[in-house]
């Protein structure tokens, strides 16, 4: 009579429970502490229950503990259950039994699933009993329990099967654990590394735009926090189920190919050892390139990072595979890798796909954004009020001209500069074409930027005050710069309407230079609207219409610092100054007066000259400027400002 072997072997299962059952018990204790015990505490504490606060999910109870055990327990189970693969004596014994390898794999996998299922099942039953026997409806529902159990098991099974798959690739338990953690994050991490490094050499590549496309779904660890706010989508659940099936099928295949003598080998499948070595080399190369690219902002340093990182990665990976530091004669493979990497970088530079030169046709464009960076594009419009699309034909033409000029100048590489221009086209087919460029200076493209910035559409799109309806304005407040608390409040509807229209004309009449260069400012202006929003604009010294209106209303003296508010001012060149701030942050007035006596500083008392200083104060922001100390009436210490050499009145240039 032919004997048959059963899938279930009682002796093996007993041994399995002895070696790994404790993990399931610890998991159960952790879940009981995180959920039933915590919920019971809330139920006995009436103040802890907020009946008006909407419940989210059961994962919100001790979420850190739940997440840690949801990923940690499956990895630990896989390490313990398949430890026999990495021990020569155990491996020889287990594989000498009259049980085929797939059956062995099924047995240990089933045991692991049981150890994962039991704590979740027991916890779920307790939660259901609590729900039926008490007033737990305010804390969770029956549906919440089933959703919690299902999603917990889904993540646990995915992690468990992934760890089994990794275990078939290695002959070392420690490596299995480390590689499992790495693989949980690898798809997300490698995507980030590739995108950041692409932005260094692919002109206009907006890496942040692509990195913000929900890449977290590539990693179960980064996807898990979604459980705090709701459920996984049906597509995510289906994807994880398919991935579990593929990983387990792959585990069966690798197990059958695995040699018993591969015990203690870092990579047990010889044919996959080069994949491991080159994979580690590639990742360390990209990481080193990212490090030097972000810290040094230089192409030469990035290339250095690629060379140093790839050499280090290749060396470490080879040592791990060979289990020795004597790998000096193993550099032939690195030469092949280096040549391949150089060829890949060369192909990227060739731009065979035409990515760098792509500018959409005018008739295909529905709207366009022109912003300083991607963060402004990605933020909601209620947070970035000036994030508005441009629709006019003229602006679309101007943006295309700007884009083409940037491409012609070969601007946008990492070495170009620190200014950025972000362009996003919304095409009529619903797609986006997005580019972000590092440029040396916006001044290089002022002729292309000027028609965009000076258009009414752009000004209204980027400044909410330029398009503000005066009917929704409840109050306008003008407050002066400087230490004096001078302000004007407009509450009369007629005054609000007149002032709003004047302020809008000032904004719409601004030139490109006035919008982009550092401008001296008298005061700040706040528009408080009926929806409890506040819009702010500067009262620039160049706003003559606002000044005239305030003068006619008799409020100019309250809206800005006037010459009569000053006793005098002292002007000196920055390179000549010998002043240091005292411990309280104030200027040493004695040294300041000494500079005047030495002819290194100019004391100004004439009211007209003081007014001229006030009109240009704040225009300087570099070393090419005067420093001015403004002494207010009956104040001991001055207020310090800067005046750009180009803005300075004639009398200041004579000393």
- Count of C-beta atoms within a 10 Å radius of residue 414: 18
DSSP states of 441-500: -GGGGHHHHHHHHTSHHHHHHH-GGGG--GGGEEEEEEEESSSS--EEEE-SHHHHHHHH
Mean pLDDT of the chain: 88
pTM attached to this predicted model: 0.82
**pLDDT at position 338, please?**
96
**pLDDT at position 138, please?**
73
**Segment 527-559, tens digit of pLDDT:** 999 989 999 999 999 999 999 999 999 999 999
Q: Which of 477, 494, 498 is nearest to 558 (CA)?
A: 477
Query: Distance (Å, rounded) from C-alpha 166 to C-alpha 251?
Result: 8
Per-residue pLDDT band at 383 (split at 50, 70, 90): low
Q: Which of 272, 320, 283 is nearest to 174 (CA)?
A: 320
**pLDDT at position 389, please?**
86
Task: Please give the backbone phi and psi of residue 202, each rounded to the nearest 5 degrees, phi first.
Answer: -105, 105
DSSP states of 520-567: -EEEEEEEEETTS-EEEEEEETT-HHHHHHHHHTT-HHHHS--GGGEE
Look at residue 120 and tell me whether its pLDDT is greater than 50.
yes
- Count of C-beta atoms within a 10 Å radius of residue 466: 22
Look at residue 385 and tell me whether its pLDDT is greater than 60.
no
Query: Distance (Å, rounded) from C-alpha 298 to C-alpha 417?
Result: 10
Which of 358-372, 580-594, 641-655 shows the lowest mean pLDDT across its residues? 580-594
Residues 616 and 541: beta-carbon distance below 8 Å = yes
pLDDT (average), residues 406-414: 74
Kindly report the length of the chain: 655
Query: Distance (Å, rounded) from C-alpha 547 to C-alpha 275?
Result: 72
Look at residue 126 and tell me whether its pLDDT is greater than 60.
yes
DSSP states of 270-282: GGGHHHHHHHHHH
Query: Distance (Å, rounded) from C-alpha 137 to C-alpha 447?
Result: 66
SS3 category, 420: strand
**pLDDT at position 417, please?**
59
**148-175 burial, b if ≥16 CB within 10 A, otherwise e?**
bbebbbbbbbbbbbbbbbbbbbbbbbeb
**Segment 152-208, tens digit of pLDDT:** 999 999 999 999 999 999 989 999 999 999 999 999 999 999 999 999 999 999 998
Identify any residues that bridge with 632 across adjacent strands, giving them in sequence order.
Answer: 566
Query: Distance (Å, rounded) from C-alpha 279 to C-alpha 155?
Result: 26
Chain centroid to CA 494: 46
Share of the chain above pLDDT 70, in %: 92
Residues 489 and 558: beta-carbon distance below 8 Å = no
Query: For 41, which DSSP code?
Result: H
Strands 473-480, 432-439: pairing kind: unpaired
**What are the structural domain ranges in the chain?**
10-172+227-259, 284-350, 362-462, 471-559, 563-652
Query: Distance (Å, rounded) from C-alpha 27 to C-alpha 159?
Result: 15
Residues 184 and 219: beta-carbon distance below 8 Å = yes
Share of the chain above pLDDT 90, in %: 61
Residues 305 and 196: beta-carbon distance below 8 Å = no
User: Token pair for residue 428?
Assistant: 């009529």
Identify any residues that bridge with 587 across adjacent strands, giving them in sequence order.
Answer: 581
User: Token pair for residue 565?
Assistant: 């508010």
**pLDDT at position 52, please?**
45
Element at 606 (helix H, strand E): none
Per-residue pLDDT band at 1 (split at 50, 70, 90): very low
Per-residue pLDDT band at 118 (split at 50, 70, 90): very high
Identify any residues that bridge with 597 across adjacent strands, giving them in sequence order.
Answer: none
Query: Distance (Å, rounded) from C-alpha 432 to C-alpha 213?
Result: 13
Which of 167-171, 184-188, 243-247, 597-601 shows the lowest mean pLDDT across its residues? 597-601
Residues 601 and 595: beta-carbon distance below 8 Å = yes
Residues 277 and 321: beta-carbon distance below 8 Å = yes
- Count of C-beta atoms within a 10 Å radius of residue 478: 23
**pLDDT at position 414, please?**
58
Task: Please give the backbone phi and psi of residue 350, each rounded to the nearest 5 degrees, phi first.
Answer: -70, -25
Look at residue 608 and tell me whether its pLDDT is greater than 80.
yes
Q: Which of 578, 631, 582 is nearest to 603 (CA)?
A: 631
Residues 525 and 510: beta-carbon distance below 8 Å = no
Query: Distance (Å, rounded) from C-alpha 367 to C-alpha 458?
Result: 12
Q: Which of 285, 270, 282 is nearest to 322 (CA)?
A: 270
Chain centroid to CA 632: 45
**Segment 11-64, tens digit of pLDDT:** 777 788 888 899 999 999 999 999 999 888 877 765 555 554 555 789 989 999
**pLDDT at position 380, please?**
67
In order of 44, 208, 594, the CA distances from 640 in angstroms are 62, 40, 17
Look at residue 351 and tell me whether its pLDDT is greater than 50.
yes
Residues 123 and 35: beta-carbon distance below 8 Å = yes
Q: Which of 512, 513, 506, 500 is nearest to 540 (CA)?
A: 506
């Amino acid at each position: 009579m032919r004997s048959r072997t059963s899938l279930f072997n009682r002796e093996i299962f007993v041994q399995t429970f002895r070696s790994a059952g404790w993990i399931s018990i610890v998991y159960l204790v952790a879940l009981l502490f995180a959920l039933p015990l915590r919920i019971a505490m809330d139920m006995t504490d009436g103040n802890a229950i907020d009946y008006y606060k909407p419940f989210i999910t059961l994962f919100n109870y001790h979420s850190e503990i739940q997440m840690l055990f949801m990923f940690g327990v499956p990895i630990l189970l896989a390490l313990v259950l398949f430890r026999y693969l990495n021990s020569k004596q155990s491996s020889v014994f287990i594989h000498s039994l009259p049980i085929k390898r797939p059956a062995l794999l099924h047995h240990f996998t089933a045991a692991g699933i049981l150890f994962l299922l039991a704590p979740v099942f027991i916890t779920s039953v307790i939660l259901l009993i609590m729900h039926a026997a008490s007033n737990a409806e305010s804390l969770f529902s029956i549906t919440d329990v089933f959703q919690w159990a299902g999603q917990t098991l889904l993540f646990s099974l995915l992690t468990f099967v992934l760890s089994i798959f990794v275990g078939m690739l290695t002959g070392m338990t420690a490596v299995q654990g480390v590689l499992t953690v790495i693989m949980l994050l690898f798809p997300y991490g490698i995507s980030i590394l590739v995108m950041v490094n692409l932005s260094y050499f692919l002109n206009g590549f907006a890496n942040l735009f692509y990195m913000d496309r929900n890449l977290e779904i590539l990693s179960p660890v980064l996807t898990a926090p979604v459980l705090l706010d709701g459920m996984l989508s049906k597509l995510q659940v289906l994807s994880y189920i398919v991935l579990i099936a593929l990983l387990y099928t792959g585990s069966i295949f690798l197990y059958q190919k695995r040699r018993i003598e591969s015990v203690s080998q870092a990579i047990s499948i010889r044919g996959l050892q080069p994949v491991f070595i080159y994979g580690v080399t590639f990742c360390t190369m990209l990481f080193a390139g990212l490090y030097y690219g972000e810290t040094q902002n230089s192409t030469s340093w990035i290339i250095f990072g690629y060379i140093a990182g790839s050499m280090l990665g290749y060396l470490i990976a080879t040592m791990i595979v060979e289990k020795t530091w004597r790998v000096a004669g193993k550099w032939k493979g690195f030469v092949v890798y280096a040549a391949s990497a150089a060829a890949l970088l060369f192909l990227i530079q060739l731009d065979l796909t035409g990515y760098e030169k792509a500018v959409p046709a005018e008739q295909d464009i529905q709207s366009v954004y022109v912003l300083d960076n991607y963060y402004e594009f990605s933020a909601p419009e209620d947070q970035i009020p000036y994030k508005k699309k441009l629709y006019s034909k003229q602006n679309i033409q101007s943006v295309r001209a700007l884009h083409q000029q940037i491409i012609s100048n070969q601007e946008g590489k990492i070495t170009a500069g620190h200014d950025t221009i972000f362009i996003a086209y919304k095409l009529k087919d619903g797609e986006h074409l997005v580019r972000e460029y590092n440029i040396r200076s916006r001044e290089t493209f002022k002729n292309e930027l000027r028609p965009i910035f000076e258009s009414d559409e752009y000004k209204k799109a980027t400044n909410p005050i330029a398009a503000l309806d005066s009917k929704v304005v409840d109050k306008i407040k003008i407050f002066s710069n400087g230490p004096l608390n001078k302000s004007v409040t407009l509450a009369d509807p007629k005054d609000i309407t007149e002032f709003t229209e004047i302020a809008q004309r000032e904004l719409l009449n601004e030139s490109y230079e006035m919008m982009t260069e550092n401008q001296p400012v008298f005061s700040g202006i706040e528009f408080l609207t009926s929806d409890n929003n506040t819009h702010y604009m500067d009262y620039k010294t160049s706003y003559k219409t606002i000044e005239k209106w305030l003068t006619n209303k008799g409020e100019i003296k309250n809206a800005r610092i006037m010459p009569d508010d000053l006793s005098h001012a002292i002007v000196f060149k920055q390179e000549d100054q010998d002043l240091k701030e005292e411990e309280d942050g104030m200027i040493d007035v004695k040294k300041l007066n000494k500079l005047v006596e030495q002819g290194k500083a100019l004391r100004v008392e004439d009211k007209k000259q003081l007014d001229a200083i006030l009109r240009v104060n704040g225009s300087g922001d570099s070393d090419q400027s005067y420093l001015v100390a403004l002494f207010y009436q009956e104040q001991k210490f001055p207020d310090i400002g800067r005046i750009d050499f180009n803005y300075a009145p004639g009398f200041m240039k004579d000393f």
